[in-house]
Amino acid sequence: MKKAICIFLVLMSSSGLFAQNVNMDSGIVVKVTIHKDYRIGLLEKVQFDMAKTASRYTSGYRLFVLKSNNREYAMKVRSYLLQNFPEEKVIMTYQAPFIKMKFGDFEDKSEAERIRNLILKGGVVTGNVYIVPDTIELKPERKAKDEQ
């Protein structure tokens, strides 16, 4: 019985080897039609947009201006920064019980140092202002300058 099964399996597997008969005729022209799924185009667009967005961010510096639990004082510092430096942005976060404030997007440490000195001369911030490395967003005019 085992011999019969083995012979049967060998015959069945060997017949599959001759299933495709290839004729090597060089005169035959083969036409291939590709049907593209529309979702591939959507995926390309999403990947392009993600790459474009990712190029807006780089490593740089921000100023750590404030860590306080006094909301009125934090708002006073925030308004001072926005009035005197309207081109920079203020990032406020709340981690109970403190309000933390970071300021600006600086590519160069020297630029951050210059703004730090101006803030300290203003006298609104009573503590020290620290320069911290962070991921910053490139401003559109700077990005346009870099591409040219």
Q: pTM of this prediction? A: 0.59
Q: Quick check: 132 and 109 in contact, CB under 8 A?
A: no
Written as tens digits, the pLDDT of the chain (148 aa) is 778 787 877 777 665 565 556 666 666 777 888 888 889 889 999 988 887 777 788 889 999 999 999 999 999 999 999 999 998 989 999 998 999 999 999 999 999 999 999 999 988 888 889 999 998 888 766 555 555 5
Copy the structure tokens of residue 14: 């060997």
